[in-house]
Amino acid sequence: MTAPTVPHAPAPAGRHRFAHAARMEWIKLRSLRSTLWALLLTVAGMIAIGVVTMANTKVPSAAKAAEFDPTNNVLAGVALGQLVVGVLGVLVVTGEYSSGSIRSTLAAIPDRRTLLMAKAAVYGALTLLVGEAVALVTFFAGRAALADGVPRPGIGDPGVLRAVLLSGAYLGLIGLLGIGIGALTRHTASAIAALVGVTFVLPAVIGGISGTTVAKFFPTMIAGNSLAVAKPVSDMLSPWTGLAVLCLYVAVVLGAGARLLARRDA
């Protein structure tokens, strides 16, 4: 059998790289309606919670004036935002497995580590940007909702800008944690259960048993008591230590997820 010459153009020089994987993941992320709805829910929910919390913030008693930290109150919506952002991060990975699209994805980008890092880079960058934007907007909206007579925090006051920006960054980190957990389990239900367990259930249970000794290391506790504070809380991790601990968690979970994806059959 004689094979006629193949008419199609030969592949150009070079090879596929991380940038191709990242562009692919960006198109995939923005072409799902759920991305937009989830991020809108995060933005609207965090602003609403911030405004309502501030509107209900009373003038502190003289005894508590020193530790009065309205910046912490205005960022209370992070607890909701982390859930939405984390679950969407889980779906960025597990949605590929439940739908079967992972086969197409791996056909284009066979290296699972490259693929996972591209997903993390794209989703992490998006949630970081949205997180910072919503944290800033929430701060100013909530500040405006404070009742007369309640001391108003200024963005230039000591620690305030740090609290706002670290809270925004927290959403990006939780997004990455969701991606890592999704890569570990590859199943939506178990990944969401793990995420909710780590962010809500375990710190509450452990906090009830042993106080803050262990509970202070859980993400939600770090977010509320270490990151979103203009006035650091005693017994809790300092803001920068909290951030470093979170980054460590993300690196470990993403690294383990990448390792497992590379080892397991798709």
Partner 1 sequence: MIEVQGLTKRYGPTTAVEALSFEVRPGAVTGFLGPNGSGKSTTMRMIMGLDRPDAGQALISGRPYGELRWPLREVGALLEARAFHPGRSARAHLSALAAGGGIRSARVDEVLAAVGLSDVAGRRAGTYSLGMAQRLGIAAALLGDPGVLLFDEPVNGLDPEGVRWIRELMKSLAAEGRTVLLSSHLIGEMALTADHLVVIGQGRLLADTSVRELTARGRSLEEAFFALTGASTAYRGAGSGVDAAPERNDR
Rounded distance, CA 214 to CA 237, Å? 11
94-133 residues in contact with partner 1 (CB under 8 A) are 95-97, 99-111
Rounded distance, CA 20 to CA 168, Å? 28
Is residue 255 a contact partner of residue 177, using CB atoms and an 8 Å limit? no
Between residues 56 and 104, which has the closer beta carbon with respect to partner 1?
104
Between residues 16 and 231, which has the closer beta carbon with respect to partner 1?
16
The dihedral sign for the CA sequence 153, 69, 241, 127 = negative
Q: Give yes or no for residue 241 binding partner 1 (CB under 8 A).
A: no
The binding track of 61-100 with respect to partner 1, each residue x by CB under 8 A or -, is ----------------------------------xxx-xx
**Least Cβ distance, residue 104 to partner 1 (angstroms):** 5
**Least Cβ distance, residue 187 to partner 1 (angstroms):** 12
Rounded distance, CA 183 to CA 112, Å? 10
- Residue carrying structure tokens 């984390």: 86
Among 8, 62, 66, 208, contact with partner 1 (rule: CB under 8 A)? 8
Q: Name the nearest CA neighbour of 129 among 154, 165, 160, 155.
A: 165
**Least Cβ distance, residue 258 to partner 1 (angstroms):** 15
Reading the block at residue 35, the tokens are: 């991305």
Is residue 157 a contact partner of residue 234, using CB atoms and an 8 Å limit? no
Number of residues that bind partner 1 (CB under 8 A): 44
The span of 15-23, 42-50, 66-74, 243-251 binding partner 1 (CB under 8 A) equals: 15-23
The binding track of 193-212 with respect to partner 1, each residue x by CB under 8 A or -, is --------------------
17-56 residues in contact with partner 1 (CB under 8 A) are 20-21, 23-28, 31-34
The span of 12-20, 153-161, 167-175, 241-249 binding partner 1 (CB under 8 A) equals: 12-20
List the Cα angle 233/47/241 in 5-degree steps. 30
The span of 11-19, 67-75, 77-85, 171-179 binding partner 1 (CB under 8 A) equals: 11-19
Rounded distance, CA 59 to CA 164, Å? 22
Binding residues for partner 1, rule: CB under 8 A, are 1-9, 11-12, 14-16, 20-21, 23-28, 31-34, 95-97, 99-111, 265-266
